[in-house]
Structure 1
Amino acid sequence: MSHSSNSTYQDKMLEAWQQRMLVNSPNPNPNKEWLSQVEEAPLFPELAIVDAHHHLWDRSGFRYLLEEYADDIGFSGRNVVASVFVQCRSMYRQDGPEMMRPVGEVEFVRGIAAQARSGYYGKTKVAAAIVGGADLLLGREVASVLDAMQEAGGRLFKGVRTPVAAHPDPVIRSNPVPVSEGLMLTKAFIAGAEQLVQRGLLLDLWVYQTQLMEVARLAQALPNLRIVINHAGGPLGLGAYQFDRERHFADWRAALTALADCPNVFIKLGGFGMPIMGFELYSKSQPPTSAELARCISPYINTCIELFGYERCMFESNFPVDKGSYSYGVLWNAFCRVAEYWTAQDRDQVFHATASRLYQIDREK
């Protein structure tokens, strides 16, 4: 190869790399060497797990695709039978109408699901359910986007998540792209959510504790809409929330209590590795053991279980976002420690049955 042709090739490779999504994330990237300081054998190794919330992406400087996820599962020794992929602005289409570009993410993940079914990456049915990223603020116009996503995802496409997490303090941010407050109760959002109801699709929501009453009003306005709250309802530990944590915990619990009265609302237990939660696990000289992590998160998990019941709760990894704070194996061991004295039936509900039922995951296919 001549020097000029080699330079052209390198230029094209550089251009292709620069086209990958550049993300200014407030969440730390994982440090493999740091995480390797704590390794644990799996607790309840035969317990079936449906990871109710994870992401896949190829961002500039941070690749987390099927191989990386499968490696985390395999190294952990966990019996992860299936997983739920959730919107993360991954592999959007480069052209076409702006509102249709998120359909590319669903196409991409359906391909990953097919790749996982080969068995080459382990037995986990990765992306057995797909939650896409349709913009419900389009109102009734989102119908065409949802139809395209259903076609792209087939039976795997189960619902959408439109980013709505917002807070007036700019320090309190967990999403790469900040959004405005008060979106969920706008006429446009409600009209878009009604399109989900018509198609029997779910609405995943990542909100902060200050927005839980807003979600309750949405759930009451659309009682036939099944809403899945992400990350334990967003208890906060940054900014003013890092002080007097007992009071803020009480506020979170009170808001969550009102939300739990809505029978169409479910909740995922996880996301505790994000800086916004305030545990600062990523800043320690060593990552937490599962016993240490369980002590941190058990008050939140136990509260969610008390309010929603086992049948409306499900565990999630939130990987690779939470991988900046602990390994996959340590996280699921921590969940096992919290659930140690639950009945076997209750453990089954939160580790796999709730997610399987809600996202209509057929583990045999």
Structure 2
Amino acid sequence: MTPALPIVDAHHHLWDLSRGHYPWLQEAYDPEAFFLGDYRAICRDFLATDYRTAAGPCEVVATVHVEAERSRDQQLAETAWLHEVHAQHGFPNAVVAHAWFDRPDSEEQLLAQSRFPLVRGIRSKPVTSASPDHSVKGQAGTMQDEAWLRGFSLLEKYGLRWDLRVPAWHLPEAAEVAALFPKVPIVLNHHGFAWDRSEEGLKRWRGWMETLARQENVHVKLSEFGLRGRPWDLQENARIVYETIAIFGWQRCMFASNFPVAGLRISYPDLVGSVAGMLTHLPGHQQHAMMCANALRFYAIDVTPPL
């Protein structure tokens, strides 16, 4: 059952394949590289009307659109298009745009993105390794690269947040970045990707999360619990939610759908109902904070009038 409570969706995507170029959806389909495997079902338009249909009866009062890997020569065009969508549909209410941190034009791009009224942050994925057994530390584009760090430092200058999206084994490196720039608000995407659900795998994930959570400028999204080749498991995912809240505290956790990607495993109402149901043992103000208020505050969203 979908709970009757207000929701801020802190992470979703939209795309119009006739208006923009999305290589991963249109020409570079690679289920081996995608963390959920086969994603053909989402290689089609996902517009504001599709989002509303997916959300169904859920009381979504605001949303945050996170860049959808549109061609990087169209990163400003993606942001402009999302402002058109907002003008027509009333959402998204905040935009997390894209700009590289380690390019000669990084400051120019960050400045241009920051001038859009809905832009609140940047998601720029650093270079990462394919497994914890392989290190890329210090290579160009990694979180130790001096050029990358110089670009990252500009987030504070332009009042922007960072949406952090890396495999779990890179969380200690992200903690080092957060410590270097304590005035930059950071939010970890998708609960840090607890992909290895073995007891040993969860122990490692927990340790990496605890390292990151020591940095008070870091928040976390309760989102994307899907696994490759496996159905969405309520009991297993509830454990991830409980441990994430225990590590970060309810004040730094926020619900997010990651639709349409999460739709490969679960419907929107079932996702909302499942996550909200996991929180019912907590006081009402904590439930409201994680499902709504924390995201409003983090992304500085004004929801008057509501979506």
Q: Do they fold alike, i.e. is TM over 0.5?
A: yes
Encode CA deviations 1:228-255: one digit per residue, 9 max, x unaligned. 1000011123xxxx7xx10010000011
Partner of 1:167: 129
Count of aligned pairs: 276
| Partner secondary structure for residue 299 of structure 1 | helix
Give 1:359 deviation, angstroms.
Answer: 0.2
Q: Following the alignment from structure 1 to structure 2, what is the Cα–Cα distance between the partners of residues 346 and 203?
A: 24
Considering only CA atoms, is the larger Rg found in Structure 1 or Structure 2? 1
Whether the 8 Å contact between 2:213 and 2:248 is mirrored in structure 1 is yes
Encode CA deviations 1:124-156: one digit per residue, 9 max, x unaligned. xx21000001111226x41211121123x22x1
Q: 2:103 aligns with which of 128, 131, 138?
A: 138
Q: 1:235 aligns with which of 194, 205, 215?
A: 194
Stretches of 4+ moved more than 4 A in 1? none
Q: Following the alignment from structure 2 to structure 1, what is the Cα–Cα distance between the partners of residues 299 and 236?
A: 29
Whether the 8 Å contact between 2:141 and 2:148 is mirrored in structure 1 is no
- Root mean square deviation of aligned Cα: 2.1
Partner of 1:129: 94
Partner of 1:350: 290
| Partner secondary structure for residue 225 of structure 1 | coil
| Partner secondary structure for residue 259 of structure 2 | coil
Which letter does structure 2 place at the counterpart of 1:251?
Answer: R
Q: Following the alignment from structure 2 to structure 1, what is the Cα–Cα distance between the partners of residues 272 and 92?
A: 19
Partner of 2:245: 305
Q: Following the alignment from structure 1 to structure 2, what is the Cα–Cα distance between the partners of residues 167 and 146?
A: 26
Give 1:165 deviation, angstroms.
Answer: 6.5
Partner of 1:253: 206
Which letter does structure 1 place at the counterpart of 2:192?
Answer: G
Q: Following the alignment from structure 2 to structure 1, what is the Cα–Cα distance between the partners of residues 62 and 127?
A: 27
Partner of 2:178: 219
Q: Following the alignment from structure 2 to structure 1, what is the Cα–Cα distance between the partners of residues 201 and 263?
A: 26
Consecutive unaligned residues of structure 1, counting only runs of 5 or more, are 1-40, 118-125, 173-179, 282-287
Give 1:263 deviation, angstroms.
Answer: 0.3
Q: Following the alignment from structure 1 to structure 2, what is the Cα–Cα distance between the partners of residues 308 and 226?
A: 14
| Partner secondary structure for residue 70 of structure 1 | helix
Give the structure with the higher percent helix.
1
The percentage of aligned residue pairs carrying the same residue is: 30
Q: Following the alignment from structure 1 to structure 2, what is the Cα–Cα distance between the partners of residues 274 and 107?
A: 33
Give 1:168 deviation, angstroms.
Answer: 3.0
Whether the 8 Å contact between 1:49 and 1:82 is mirrored in structure 2 is yes
Q: Following the alignment from structure 1 to structure 2, what is the Cα–Cα distance between the partners of residues 297 and 274?
A: 10
Consecutive unaligned residues of structure 2, counting only runs of 5 or more, are 18-24, 27-42
Q: Following the alignment from structure 1 to structure 2, what is the Cα–Cα distance between the partners of residues 114 and 274?
A: 35
Calculate the TM-score normalised by the size of structure 2: 0.85
Give 1:167 deviation, angstroms.
Answer: 2.8
Q: Following the alignment from structure 2 to structure 1, what is the Cα–Cα distance between the partners of residues 181 and 256?
A: 25
* 2:72 corresponds to 1:113: no
Give 1:116 deviation, angstroms.
Answer: 1.0
Partner of 2:166: 207
Q: 1:68 aligns with which of 50, 57, 61?
A: 50
Give 1:169 deviation, angstroms.
Answer: 4.5
Whether the 8 Å contact between 2:114 and 2:160 is mirrored in structure 1 is no
Encode CA deviations 1:291-332: one digit per residue, 9 max, x unaligned. xx4312111111111111111000110001111101001100
